[in-house]
Amino acid sequence: MVSSVTEGVKVSVKTEYQSDYSSPLQAHYVFTYRITIENASDYTIQLLRRHWTIFDSNGTVREVEGEGVVGLQPVLEPGEVHEYVSGCNLRSSMGKMAGTYLVERIIDGKQVRVTIPEFTMVVPYRLN
């Protein structure tokens, strides 16, 4: 698991290879990642947008940008946590992702780009 903190907002990521949904012979590798967002700041925040950069070890780089996460724009009071699971497919057996969330403080509308720490996605047999 990797974590980072930006202005009191902690983002942690854990990945898992999904062998049942992958097909290595067809260069199709599926990974899920569990994101935990913890509001350790003194302010109520709302997650508005996400931006991802996805690096595949075959040299492909993709960007994904949009509103919220898995269809939600969660509001987190101080001390609250929001978790969700999403996924990524690669054309090779390893890659990495990193990104940012755009969050807004409810009290004054200040927007902050929260870092999503870079994390790797590696098929388990590549680790041996």
Longest CA pairwise span in the chain (Å): 52
Q: Give the residue ranges of the chain where pLDDT is below 70.
A: 127-128
Two tokens, residue 66: 């949009």
Res 4: pLDDT: 97
Question: What is the rounded distance in angstroms from the CA atom of residue 42 to the CA atom of residue 39?
Answer: 8
pTM, whole model, 2 decimals?
A: 0.94
Q: Are 39 and 77 within 8 A, CB to CB? A: yes
What digits encode the pLDDT tens for the residues 109-122?
999 999 999 999 99
pLDDT value for 125: 80
Cα 116 to Cα 14, 21, 26, 70, 97, distances in angstroms: 12, 25, 30, 16, 9
Alpha carbon separation from 40 to 16, 45, 82 (Å, rounded)? 26, 10, 12
Residue 97's beta-bridge partner residues?
54, 119
Q: Token pair for residue 95?
A: 């890659």
- Check residue 80 and give its pLDDT: 98
Instruction: Check residue 120 and give its pLDDT.
Output: 97
Q: Tell me the per-residue pLDDT of 13-25, one tens digit each, with 9 for 90 and over.
A: 999 999 999 999 9
Could you tell me if 72 and 55 are in contact, meaning their C-beta atoms sit under 8 angstroms apart? no
